[in-house]
Amino acid sequence: MLHKKGYTAFVLATTVTLALTFSDLFITFIVTPDLTWEANPLVSVLGFGWGALIGVNIKGNIIFACLFYFCFVKYERPDIHANNLREYMSIILYNRPDKFIWCFYKFPSNKEGWRALAATTGYLCVFMVNTGRVVFITNWLIIYTNSLHPWIDGGLRSHWFHYTLGTIPALALAAIPCVIIGVITIFLWFNAGYKMNKKRRAESS
C-alpha cells in the first residue's frame, strides 16, 4: 500500500542522496581531476579511475533507492504486545521479549526481524550516507577555497593539510559523525515504532 507521506519521504530521500552524490563527484573533479587526493579505496588502494568511481556511485544509489522505498513505502510496522522499548525490539527481531542484549551482536532470527532490519537500514542510510557526503563535500570545498585564496591561512596549503583532509583520513572524519548519527537514528526509528504500536493498541482496546 502506498502511503502519501511515505512516498513523499522516499522521493525526498532519493532526491537528496542523488543531489549530494552528484555534488561530491563534481567537486571531486574540480579539485582533483586526476583523483590524486580521492579517498575511495577503489581509487586510492586499487588504482581504478573515474569509470569505477562513477559506476560504484550509480550502483550504490540504486541500492539506497530500493532501501528507501522499502523503508518509507512498503514496510508496515507489526502489531506487538510489548511493555517497553527493549521488549519491542527484542520481540520484533527475535520473537522473544527477554533478548534485547542480542541486538548488539546477533542478526534477526525471524522473517519480521529481517524486514525490520532492512527498513532500519534504509532509514539509517538517509542520514549516515548523506552525512558522509556532506563531510566529503565540505572537505573538498575547504581545499578548493584555500587553493584560490591562500591568504586565508598559508599553513593550510601545506602537503600535510592536503594529506590529512584530502585522502584516507577524510574517511575517518566522515565516520565519526556517521557513527554518532547512526546510533541516534536507530534509537529514534525503533522508539517511534514502539510509540506508534503502543498508541495503536491503546486505541483498539
Q: Which DSSP string do the residues of 165-200 spell out, in sequence order?
A: HHSTHHHHHHHHHHHHHHHHHHHHHHHHHHHHHHHH
What does the pLDDT read at residue 146? 67
46: left (phi over 0), alpha (psi -120 to 50) or beta: alpha
Residue position matching grid coordinates 543531489: 19
The beta strands (E) that lie in 11-65 are given as: none
pLDDT tier for residue 172 given thresholds of 50, 70 and 90: low
What does the pLDDT read at residue 55? 94
CA distances from 54 to 13, 28, 61, 66, 92 (A): 20, 11, 11, 19, 37
Q: Which cell numbers in the block locate residue 143?
A: 581545499
What does the pLDDT read at residue 57? 95
First to last CA, the chain: 25
Alpha carbons 73 and 12: distance in angstroms, whole number: 12
Q: What is the overall mean pLDDT for the chain?
A: 83
pLDDT tier for residue 140 given thresholds of 50, 70 and 90: confident
Residue 15 has pLDDT above 60, yes or no: yes
Alpha carbons 119 and 125: distance in angstroms, whole number: 10
What does the pLDDT read at residue 1? 42
Q: What share of the chain has pLDDT > 70, as a percent?
A: 84
Q: What are phi and psi of 29, to 5 degrees?
A: -65, -35
pLDDT tier for residue 39 given thresholds of 50, 70 and 90: confident
Q: Which residue has the higher pLDDT, 159 or 197?
A: 197
Sign of CA dihedral 16, 21, 27, 31: positive
Q: Which residue has the higher pLDDT, 150 or 45?
A: 45
pLDDT tens for each residue of 59-109: 999 999 999 999 999 998 888 888 999 999 999 999 999 999 998 889 998
pLDDT tier for residue 158 given thresholds of 50, 70 and 90: very low
Q: Which residue has the higher pLDDT, 151 or 77?
A: 77
Specify the pTM: 0.82
